[in-house]
Structure 1
Amino acid sequence: MAEVQQRLQGLTTGYQNIQQGELHKPHLTGFYMLIPQQSYKTMQKLESQQQENKAVQKEFSGLKDEANIYKMVGPVLLKQDKTEAVLAVDGRLEYIENEIKRVEKQIKDVEDKSDELRAQIMQAQSESQPQGQGPQPQAIA
């Protein structure tokens, strides 16, 4: 009985840590997983950058091939070839889309781990109930 209670306590602590964003296990890539709140902030930032780059891409599509395009590098505007500018924006969009996929996977991994721990907690709670008594509702935050 004490083993079940100890297991239940460990699972509950792990679940609370995930919910509070304290999951710091190294990811397969060697990077630490972002806490959920940071992941959502990162996702918002990436989506904003994606929209900005799509707007630039749309503006470029309406320009003639001989149009002058300038790129700001520090305090200086440098003339840039349209093909080069389009390729740079396309490359940024591809990078942003890959980052969005990566962050979505991180969020899903944390949510899956949370769901798995919740199921284990419910199983441990049912095991800790004395035989003959019905389950007592217990809130999982």
Structure 2
Amino acid sequence: MASSPAAVKELQRDLENQANALSKIQKDIAKNHQVRKQYTIQLGENELVLKELELLNENSNVYKLIGPVLVKQDLAEANANVRKRIEYISAELKRLDGTLQDLEDKQNSKKESVLKLQQRIHSLQAGKSKS
């Protein structure tokens, strides 16, 4: 392997590209965590609503907030809506977990390639300084 300045510059350019790709993956992971946090909060809220709905008897009045207006809603319909919402949020959380796992795998791969490039650059520069 030639330890020419051109080879070192090429490796440094590759290193910069890999580091930028790693940075983008880390931003995607942070975004994933943020979205996951929001869904987790929504899931908790909906589970609380479901528990409250289960405490009611069939004759109870249930109201749904639509814009600035409270609209009367059937208890069974409200129950079904909340269950569907919980199901949807749970599916989204599962999807986000899968995406997060993929991103973490990519991040680990990029970290390894960045480390290898750094080692190659150091070894080339060390070889050049001995000449």
| Band the TM-score falls in, shorter-chain normalisation | 0.7 to 0.9
* Alignment-derived partner of residue 38 in structure 2: 45
Query: Residue 79 of structure 1: SS of its match in structure 2?
Result: strand
Report % sequence identity: 32
CA distances 1:30-89 after superposition (whole Å, capped 9, x unpaired) = xxxxx3332222111111111110001001111112222111222322221111110000
Matched, 1:87 2:80: yes
Unpaired stretches in structure 2, ≥5 consecutive residues = none
Residue type of the alignment partner of 2:76: T
Structure with higher RCO (Cα < 8 A, 6+ apart): 2
Q: Tell me, in whole angstroms, the C-alpha distance in 2 between the residues paired with 1:88 and 1:4.
A: 56
Structure number with larger C-alpha Rg: 2
* TM norm structure 1: 0.70
Paired with 1:88 and 1:50, the residues of 2 have a C-alpha distance of 13
Is there any run of 5+ residues in structure 1 with no aligned partner, and where? 22-34, 134-141
Residue 17 of structure 1 aligns with an amino acid whose one-letter code is K
1:14 is the counterpart of 2:6 = no
Q: Superposition RMSD on alpha carbons, in Å?
A: 2.3
Alignment of 1:1-141 (within 5 A): 1=3, 2=7, 3-19=10-26, 21=27, 35-128=28-121, 129-130=123-124
Question: Which protein is richer in helix relative to its size?
Answer: 2
